[in-house]
Each structure stands twice: as structure tokens, then as C-alpha cells.
Amino acid sequence: DVKVTQSSRYLVKRTGEKVFLECVQDMDHENMFWYRQDPGLGLRLIYFSYDVKMKEKGDIPEGYSVSREKKERFSLILESASTNQTSMYLCASSFGGYPGELFFGEGSRLTVL
């Protein structure tokens, strides 16, 4: 089975802290994505990557950065966490050429105090 693993299910951080969210997939997928999910707003795309060392801004990249040094790993970085970044973060991956068949991790629920 395809597996997308997110490093932490629950995190609590303080305002101003640097936060790393890690995502690893084991299916050799080219594409990887970071979404955040908020009530009433649905899933919003933060960043995505089509290949190693490549990254593209999604719809809400402000306050975030990403890193993809290896094909299987895609990291989301909050340089200085703020309370409005409290959310559920979902990582997903897919084969190139199959944009909609995403495989999701279980999510990381981040609370920023």
C-alpha cells in the first residue's frame, strides 16, 4: 500500500518558534503537496513540488517555506510561527501526470500559543 507518513500528529508550539513538519512517501511519487485545512475554508494549497529541489507556491505560501532535498521527503517550515497558523496540515503525493489521485498522510494538527 502507498504510505504517506507525517512526522507528528499533534504539535503545540509558541509564537515565534520555528516549526518543521516532515512528510515521507514510499511510492516514488514525483509530486508532493502541503495543504492546510481550516473549518469553513476547506483545503488550501501552501506549496507543492514536482521534483527534487523544485518547489512552487500554492495559494497561501506566506509565512511558509518548503524543502525537498530527496524525492521521498517534503518538509514544511514555519520560520516564525504565529497563532493564525494554528491548523491541520496535510501532506499528499501523486504520480506525475495524475494530478487528482492524491495520497494523503494522516495530518499534523498544529496549535500555536
Partner 1 sequence: SQELEQSPQSLIVQEGKNLTINCTSSKTLYGLYWYKQKYGEGLIFLMMLQKGGEEKSHEKITAKLDEKKQQSSLHITASQPSHAGIYLCGADMTVIDFGNEKLTFGTGTRLTIIP
Nearest to 96 by CA among 31, 27, 36, 15: 31
Give bridge partners of residue 20 from the DSSP assignment: 77
Residue 99 is a binding residue for partner 1 (CB under 8 A)? yes
Among 1, 28, 42, 62, binds partner 1 (CB under 8 A): 42
By CB under 8 A, tell whether 43 contacts partner 1: yes
* Residue with Cβ nearer partner 1 (33 or 80): 33
Q: What is the DSSP letter of 27?
A: S
Q: With CB under 8 A as the rule, give the number of residues binding partner 1.
A: 31
CB 53 within 8 A of CB 68: yes
User: CB 16 → partner 1: shortest distance, Å?
Assistant: 27
Q: Which of 81, 103, 110, 112 forms a contact with partner 1 (CB under 8 A)? A: 103
Q: Does the footprint of partner 1 cover residue 58 (CB under 8 A)? A: yes
Applying CB under 8 A, the residues found at the interface with partner 1 are: 4, 31, 33, 35, 40-45, 48, 50, 56, 58, 88, 90, 92, 94, 96-107, 109
